Amino acid sequence: MKCSSRGKVYIVGAGPGDPELITLKGLKAIREADVIIVDRLVNPEILRYRRRGSEIIYVGKRPGDKGLSQDYINRLMEEYALKGLKVVRLKGGDPIVFGRGGEEMEYLSSRGVCFEVVPGVSSIYSVPIYAGVPVTHRRYSSSLLVVPGMEALDKEVRRVRLKEIGGKVDTIVVLMGVGSAGYIARELIEGGVDPRKPVAIIERGSYSDQRTILTTLECLQSSIDRLGVSPPAVIVIGDVVRLSRRLMWFGSSIYDLLDEGC
């Protein structure tokens, strides 16, 4: 890719929460950055590694909050790069997995802004394993489906057709799904998935206050309501969830509701 800017943007994945899960390359970019544009889900502890004098700009949005537009964030990256500065766009998890990293790459490329992507440890698999749930396992899960809790509002047609595909995979990981958990459960059950299918809800995965709830698909929404689950949380649906009872190795806040019913 040809670029004309004197500065450069590094789109960096910060990992799921535990600051030690950031990559060495991501850490190097942070240490050398002039400007760091930070999303809400990035652990603030990571910013301790920035160099003295670097500027931090917070652009994170809370669920349901319009906050700063993506267009504004795009223009912010471009503005600083055109000044000849080293810019880090720091995003939680991996920047390309439901993180609009691809959109930001398109924008920067269209404007001739030099950029580099530093992949991060994704919450797709890292948050579940912090709760003792391996998303694949030779005996229990040979296929994996990853879906967002909500698709972009400007889409004319929904691309995630849970009724059609939910029953054809062993394990489903839902990111950003707390607000739409009831809808997701209904779609899967109507599509033929067993209502008693085990589900793990992992709130603030890999943080010191991680909380894990084990429940069933039919009780997913009631479990969220009962325990007051709030984002960020990862939802895992599949038989592999039962392994959490034996393999849980991190965190002490565990609610096992698998055999309780709704």
Supply the residues annotated as catalytic: 39, 61, 176
- Contact assessment for residue 122 and residue 16, using Cβ atoms and an 8 Å cutoff: yes
C-alpha closest to that of 232 among 134, 137, 126: 126
Gap between the Cα atoms of 114 and 10, Å rounded: 9
CB-CB neighbours of 183 under 10 Å: 14
Please state, in angstroms and rounded to a whole number, the distance separating the CA atoms of residues 236 and 139: 17
Q: Is the CB of residue 238 less than 8 Å from the CB of residue 170?
A: yes
- The sign of the dihedral angle between the CA atoms of 100, 101, 102, 103 is positive
